[in-house]
A and B are shown apart, each in its own frame.
Chain A
Amino acid sequence: MFYAILRRFGQMLFVMFGISVIVFLIFFATPGADPAARIAGRNASPEVLAAVRHSFGFDQPLYVQYTRMMEKIFVTGDLTSFVNRGWKVVPAVMDSIPVTLSLVFGAAVLWVVVSIIIGIVAAAIRDSWLDKLLMALGLLGISMPVYWLGEVMNLITQSRYHDSWAFSWVPPLGYKNFSDDPKGWFLTLVIPWITLAILYIGIYGRVLRAAIIESMQEDYIRTARAKGLSETRILFRHALRTSLIAFVTLFGLDFGALVGGSALLTEVVFGLHGIGKLTYDALQNLDLPMIMATVMYASMFVVIANAVVDFVYILLDPRLRAS
Chain B
Amino acid sequence: MILSVRDLKVSFRTHDGPVRAIDGVSFDLEESEILGVVGESGSGKTVSLLAVMGLITDPNATIEGSIRYKGRELVGLPPRELRRLRGNEIAMIFQDPMTALTPVYTIGWQIAEQIRAHRGVSKSKAMERVEQLLAEVNFPNPHEAMSRYPHQLSGGMRQRAVIAMALSCDPALLVADEPTTALDVTVQAGILDLVRKLRAKHKSAVVFITHDMGVVSELADRVMVMYAGRVVERGTRTEMFSDPRHPYTRALLGSIPPLTGEKPRRLLAIPGSPPSLLRLPQGCAFGPRCPVRYEPCEAGKPGLGASAHAAACFRVA
Contacts and interface: CB of A to CB of B under 8 A. Distances in A.
Nearest to B104: A241
Nearest to A228: B87
Interface in A192-228: 218-220, 222-228
B117 A227 contact: yes
B270 interface: no
Contacts of B162: 223
Interface stretch (B88-96, B120-128, B277-285): B88-96
Nearest to B102: A220
Contacts of B250: none
Contact of B86 (A226, A237, A316): A226
Contacts of A230: 83
A238 B102 contact: yes
Interface in A100-147: none
Contacts of B165: 223, 227
Contacts of A220: 99-103
A226 B91 contact: yes
Interface in A3-42: none
B199 interface: no
Interface string A228-265: 11100100011001100000000000000000000000
Contact of B113 (A219, A227, A241): A227
Nearest to A244: B104
B13 interface: no
A218 B102 CA distance: 9
Nearest to A218: B99
B103 A226 contact: no
A62 to B, nearest CB: 50
B206 interface: no
Interface string B159-187: 00010010000000000000000000000
Interface residues of A, number: 21
Contacts of B102: 220, 223-224, 238, 242
Contacts of B113: 227, 229, 237
B84 interface: yes
Contacts of B91: 226
B85 A228 contact: yes
A318 B117 CA distance: 24
B163 to A, nearest CB: 12
Which of A229, A241, A316 has the largest count of B CB atoms less than 10 A from its CB?
Answer: A229
B114 interface: yes
Contacts of A238: 102
Contacts of A225: 55, 57, 86
B202 interface: no
A103 B113 CA distance: 42
Interface in B132-159: 149, 151
Interface of B: 53, 55, 57, 83-88, 91-92, 94, 96, 99-104, 113-114, 117-118, 149, 151, 162, 165
5 interchain residue pairs of minimum CB distance: A228-B87, A219-B99, A228-B86, A227-B87, A227-B114
17 contacts: A219-B96, A220-B99, A220-B100, A223-B92, A223-B100, A223-B102, A225-B86, A226-B87, A226-B94, A227-B86, A227-B113, A228-B83, A229-B113, A233-B117, A241-B104, A242-B103, A242-B104
